[in-house]
Amino acid sequence: MNLKSKDLLGLKDLSGQEIEYILDTAKTMKYVINSNSKKTPHLQGKSIVTLFYENSTRTRLSFELASKYMSSSSANISASVSSVAKGESLIDTGRTIDMMGTDVIIIRHPQSGAPHLLAKHVKASVINAGDGMNEHPTQALLDMFTIREKKGTLKGLKVAILGDIYHSRVARSNIWGLTKMGAEVSLAGPATLLPPGIEKTGARVYSTIHEALIDADVVMSLRLQLERQKKALFPSIREYSRFFGLDDNRLKLAKKDALIMHPGPINRGVELTSQVADHDNSVINEQVTNGVAVRMALLYLLTRRGANEAAD
């Protein structure tokens, strides 16, 4: 099986079958990460470039290690120290990278749709590492991988996603991915942080965190950008955590063995308490490991796709 598109721009455009295939491949990759010698030849002779217009620690490092574990030549560009700072357009930057023989460009960008624009103008595969408020597909894939690993399946699970849904590309990608895989997604957050029409995606929207949590198999807490307070989206951190923060008491509404997840970085005491973050059921640290596995799988599948095409 091959992925249909040369790019991974979002889970909105992937089929359930493709998602399943990526997750299966990631399972193999996880053995590599856990092995004594983290080196495979999958990306030998391939060149991978990360092009980040926003700050990132874990996503960028995760992609870099994923490509290095598979023996690629890789390079990094940060917008702040490149020609972008001199006013170069995204398309021109992309073409420059493309013309150096790059196989995969991994882009993070503050504007939604930037990876889509780039993908139209380069031969290289483009992976979206987060675009504006649109999607963060590799994060959702690693979330689904983690859930599937723990629960055996995604089908029929009840996943509660809590917090700032409006600005969250992680939430959007998870909604697309999880609903395609047969999970039931429930959302809760302040009314000012729920995007209009989100219920049309198939997710259920609740006005209190309690309703969303009842019998949940998975509880996913989202990072609250503290500067949103200045835009009058919520009154104070105190009030936010009182009504929407995840604590031990609220967690009891979910199933006993409910997984606790967070895309990181965490604001301890804001969207969730330290007790919840460090709870036995918390898989927040494992999510990080699985991120590398999922990204290895994607890099492998997208670059292999090119090779097969050439052979045809």
Partner 1 sequence: MKLLIKKGHIVDAKTGIEGIYDLLVENGRIAGISENICEEGCEIIDASGKYVLPGLVDAHCHLRDPGYEFKEDIESGTRSAAKGGFTSVACMPNTNPVADNESVIRYIINKAKQEGCVNVYPVGAITKGQKGEELAEIGELKFAGAVAVSDDGKPVKSSSLMKKAMQYASMFGIAVISHCEDTDLAEEGVMNEGYLSTVMGLKGIPSAAETTMVARELILSEYLDIPIHIAHISTALSVELIRNAKKRGVKVTCETCPHYFSLTDEACSGYNTNAKVNPPLGTDKDVQAIIAGIADDTIDIIATDHAPHHADEKNVEFSLAASGIVGFETAFPLAFTNLVRPGTIPMMKLVEKMCLNPSRLLGINKGTLEPGSSADITIIDTERLFTVDPSKFASKSKNSPFGGFRLYGSVWGTIVNGKPVVSEGVLL
Span near partner 1 by CB under 8 A; candidates 66-74, 86-94, 219-227, 265-273: 86-94
Establish if 82 lies at the interface with partner 1 (CB under 8 A). no
Query: Cis peptide before 265, with omega less than 30 degrees from 0?
Result: yes
Establish if 204 lies at the interface with partner 1 (CB under 8 A). no
Closest to partner 1 by CB, 198 or 294: 198
Establish if 112 lies at the interface with partner 1 (CB under 8 A). yes
Closest to partner 1 by CB, 111 or 225: 111
Establish if 180 lies at the interface with partner 1 (CB under 8 A). no
In angstroms, the CA 287 to CA 202 distance is 25
Establish if 15 lies at the interface with partner 1 (CB under 8 A). no
Q: Which residues contact 175 (CB under 8 A, 6 or more apart)?
A: 161, 185, 187, 198, 201, 202, 203
Closest to partner 1 by CB, 89 or 285: 89
Q: Provide the 10 A C-beta neighbour count for residue 195.
A: 17
Q: Which of 41, 81, 87, 200 binds partner 1 (CB under 8 A)?
A: 200
Establish if 169 lies at the interface with partner 1 (CB under 8 A). yes
Span near partner 1 by CB under 8 A; candidates 77-85, 113-121, 240-248, 290-298: 113-121
Span near partner 1 by CB under 8 A; candidates 74-82, 195-203, 249-257, 282-290: 195-203
Establish if 89 lies at the interface with partner 1 (CB under 8 A). yes
Least distance from partner 1 to the Cβ atom of residue 137, Å: 12
Establish if 88 lies at the interface with partner 1 (CB under 8 A). no
Phi, psi of 156 (to 5 degrees): 80, -5
Establish if 87 lies at the interface with partner 1 (CB under 8 A). no
Q: Which residue spans within 165-253 are E strands per DSSP?
A: 184-188, 204-206, 218-221
Cβ atoms of 131 and 111 within 8 Å: the answer is: yes
Q: Which of 146, 148, 244, 117 is nearest to 193 (CA)?
A: 244
Q: Which residue spans within the chain are E strands per DSSP?
A: 47-52, 73-78, 104-109, 125-131, 158-162, 184-188, 204-206, 218-221, 259-261
In angstroms, the CA 73 to CA 47 distance is 5
First-to-last CA distance in the chain? 14
Establish if 201 lies at the interface with partner 1 (CB under 8 A). yes
Q: Which of 30, 109, 148, 279 binds partner 1 (CB under 8 A)?
A: 109
Q: Which of 129, 218, 222 is nearest to 167 (CA)?
A: 222
Total residues binding partner 1 (CB under 8 A): 24
Which 243-262 residues touch partner 1, going by CB under 8 A?
none
Q: Which tokens sit at 55? A: 């700050």
Closest to partner 1 by CB, 120 or 238: 120
Least distance from partner 1 to the Cβ atom of residue 200, Å: 5
> Which spans of this chain sit near partner 1 (rule: CB under 8 A)?
12, 89-91, 109, 111-114, 116-117, 131-135, 169, 172, 195-198, 200-201
